[in-house]
Structure 1
Amino acid sequence: MSIKKRYVALIAAVGIGVGWLTLGGTAAIMHYTSSTEFCVSCHTMQIPYEEYEGSVHFSNAKGIRAECADCHIPSDPVDYVITKICASKDIYHEFVTGKIDDVDKYEAHRLEMAETVWKQFRENDSATCRSCHDFDAMDEYSQSEDAAKKHAYAREHSQTCIDCHKGMAHFAPELEMDSEAFDHLMEFTEQTPSDAKVVYPVDYIKAEDLGTINPTAKLVVNSAQGDTRQVTLDAYQMKGAEQVLYIGQGQRAIVASLTDKGQQALVVGDFEADRYGNEWRSAQLNAEITSPVVDSLEPIWSYAEELDTVYCSTCHAKIDAHHFTVNAWGPVAKGMGDRTDISKHDLELLTKFFQNHAKDVTGH
């Protein structure tokens, strides 16, 4: 019996040893290959590493650093193993295909790589973000008013972190609208019937020497001859800012900018104070235009929604137009537009889309 016990003890010891070497060794390898040092040892990881070094996740006032694994490897055992297996493709591309082994190749694939990561974050509800950041742990009184509102909105609409916080540790892809989209919009101007009763500019247009009419302004056609139209713009003027016309009383969405002659040519009503003490009056501008126009706002709004997808949704989830008022959308759109390379014209179309669908315009 004692001999058998020795065999059993020996087998058990060998089993433990083998188990320790295999499981322990595997765990050690998995742990080592999750380190930031290992992640950035590949040549192709130098670009994202340099971006990470300039982010708040690398250096901040509180001295808390999020390493590569903290953001890219979920702690759930199953997701952990799946992520490690999927990461083997990085080794393959590093040593075999050279898919992103220079700056040009990296930029060409930046969007593809970003969308892959964003998809993973959406599917696991930004699990790695939530390992450090949690709604219930947030002190909303220490946040800016705008941040607190957005977090409340995110909770209410079941948004996940990555919906708004793209480009946190690495640069977000910089996209540009395909010129074909604008060319397609301009094709609609060629289909505008000569007898259209109402038209809308797709670009800033000159109203003789009276001023400039903004895109999407509603123009009632009084008469037309070829491409020349006599139009009327009904708008509002605020005392102290007589050089511009607004879409409605108390609604600061600019539809035209006037010269001194244009201000003199207006047909105006009497000033009336709004609830904030600002004085407004109706103002009608009659002018001649020759620029391309459309007889429906639908193609302009379709183009604006494409702009929203390209310039806004690259960094955060789409924000419903009725989330803000018409007056709030102006500075919000401008502030966001300044962070991109969107053109002045496209930003104006996008802003007008938001303002015309704002909650105090549509009634949402």
Structure 2
Amino acid sequence: MKMKKASVALILFIGLILGAIGFGSGSYLLHKTSETQFCLSCHTMQTPYDEYTGSVHFTNQKGIRAECSDCHIPKAPLDFLIAKMKASKDVYHQFVTGKVDTPEKFEQHRLEMAQEVWKQMKENDSVTCRSCHQFSAMDIQSQSADAQKMHNLAIKDKQTCIDCHKGIAHFPPEIKMDDQAMTNLLDSAKQTPSTAEVVFPAQPIQLGNLGTAYPATALKVTKTTGTQREITIEGSQMKGAEQVIYLSQGQRLILASLSEEGEKALQINGDFTKDQYDNEWRPVSLKATINEPVLAKQEPLWAYAENLDNVYCSGCHAKISATHYTVNAWPAVAKGMGARTDISPEDLEILTKYFQYNAKDINSH
């Protein structure tokens, strides 16, 4: 009986030793294969690594470096194992399919790979980011004005890190605008029926020799003859800026800019009144003739603007609702962000108008 107990104890002891060795070896292997050097030796990761070495996560004034695993592999045991299991597909594509084994193939699949990572980080509330960065630990008041706005917005809307910081360590994928999008929009304008009572420019259009009307401006049609339309623009004029027609008192959304002839042709519809900042405004209207194609409604233009938002804005950060800023604040915000991209001045004008027409105070007057 004693021999049986001794045998069982010995077997259990050996089992524990082997289990400990197996667990230790497995844990060592899992963590060793999470090191940056292993990633570089096994995966086609030289391109993202080179991008990472130019980021603040690689070199910064604090001397703190975030390695690949710090951003891509969660620390919690179960999440860690799941991440390692998912990573096995990278080995498969490296040695079997050769999916991204050339720079050209990598670029071809960059968007797909990025979206997969963004989705994972969105689902786990950017848990790896939060191992270093927490809203509760931020001295938000010492941040730049823009950072304060965005972090306060993120806290209010319960956003997660990856919503805004998509290009923080690697180049964001290049999302291209459809080359035919503007052509299709202008083709749609050519189909606007002659019976349309209100029309909208898709691009800046000439008001004869009176000035220029800008995208999305409502033009009330009084008469149509062939391709020519007689229209009326109604808005507000601010004292000191008589060459511009704005949307309404206090709201600096430009509907049209006027030539000297346009200023003389302007119809005054009321007296100057002061706004809360002591600027003086009065209602005005302008009758003019247009010959260029115009849209029958704003919706196609807004669809085009939303595509611009996806291409030039949302590729780097989460969409910012048009209602986040006022109609007067949007031009400066759009101009500042647009300067960081290669968006054309014409497209930036359309995008700005989209934000302004949908701003949080657009219906306050």
User: TM-score, normalization: structure 1?
Assistant: 0.92
Please report how far the alpha carbon of residue 8 of structure 1 lies from its aligned counterpart in structure 2 after TM superposition: 5.3
CA distance in 2, matches of 1:260, 1:36: 66
Do residues 281 (structure 1) and 282 (structure 2) align? yes
CA distance in 1, matches of 2:190, 2:296: 10
SS in 2 for 1:221: strand
SS in 2 for 1:314: coil
The aligned residue for residue 340 of structure 1 is 341
The aligned residue for residue 163 of structure 1 is 163
Question: Unaligned 5+ residue runs, structure 2?
Answer: none
The aligned residue for residue 191 of structure 2 is 191
Task: Look up the equivalent residue of 1:360 and give its one-letter code.
Answer: D
Do residues 259 (structure 1) and 259 (structure 2) align? yes
CA distance in 1, matches of 2:55, 2:240: 44
The aligned residue for residue 178 of structure 2 is 178
SS in 1 for 2:328: helix
CA distance in 2, matches of 1:305, 1:39: 38
Q: 2:43, 2:91 within 8 Å by CA — same for their partners in 1? A: no
The aligned residue for residue 353 of structure 2 is 352
Q: 1:321, 1:359 within 8 Å by CA — same for their partners in 2? A: yes
When structure 1 is superposed on structure 2, of 30-39 and 8-17 the one drifting more is: 8-17
The aligned residue for residue 45 of structure 1 is 45
Task: Give % identity.
Answer: 58
Task: Look up the equivalent residue of 1:286 and give its one-letter code.
Answer: K
When structure 1 is superposed on structure 2, of 59-68 and 39-48 the one drifting more is: 39-48
Residue 186 and residue 62 in structure 1: after superposition, are their counterparts in 2 closer, same or farther (change >3 A)? same
Task: Look up the equivalent residue of 1:62 and give its one-letter code.
Answer: K
Q: 2:100, 2:109 within 8 Å by CA — same for their partners in 1? A: yes
SS in 1 for 2:264: helix
Q: 1:188, 1:294 within 8 Å by CA — same for their partners in 2? A: yes
Q: 2:33, 2:39 within 8 Å by CA — same for their partners in 1? A: yes
Q: Deviations over 1:246-293 (max 9, x none)?
A: 222221212222233333332335443322132333332222111111
Residue 42 and residue 260 in structure 1: after superposition, are their counterparts in 2 closer, same or farther (change >3 A)? farther
Please report how far the alpha carbon of residue 9 of structure 1 lies from its aligned counterpart in structure 2 after TM superposition: 6.0
How many corresponding residue pairs? Answer: 364
The aligned residue for residue 133 of structure 2 is 133
The aligned residue for residue 246 of structure 2 is 246
CA distance in 2, matches of 1:72, 1:312: 24
SS in 2 for 1:193: coil
Please report how far the alpha carbon of residue 198 of structure 1 lies from its aligned counterpart in structure 2 after TM superposition: 1.3
Q: 1:215, 1:349 within 8 Å by CA — same for their partners in 2? A: yes
Q: 2:219, 2:233 within 8 Å by CA — same for their partners in 1? A: yes
Question: Unaligned 5+ residue runs, structure 1?
Answer: none
Please report how far the alpha carbon of residue 300 of structure 1 lies from its aligned counterpart in structure 2 after TM superposition: 1.6
Q: 2:213, 2:257 within 8 Å by CA — same for their partners in 1? A: yes
The aligned residue for residue 145 of structure 2 is 145
RMSD: 2.2
CA distance in 2, matches of 1:38, 1:257: 61
CA distance in 2, matches of 1:127, 1:323: 27
CA distance in 1, matches of 2:195, 2:356: 28
When structure 1 is superposed on structure 2, of 184-193 and 227-236 the one drifting more is: 184-193
Do residues 21 (structure 1) and 21 (structure 2) align? yes
SS in 1 for 2:254: strand
Task: Look up the equivalent residue of 1:325 and give its one-letter code.
Answer: T
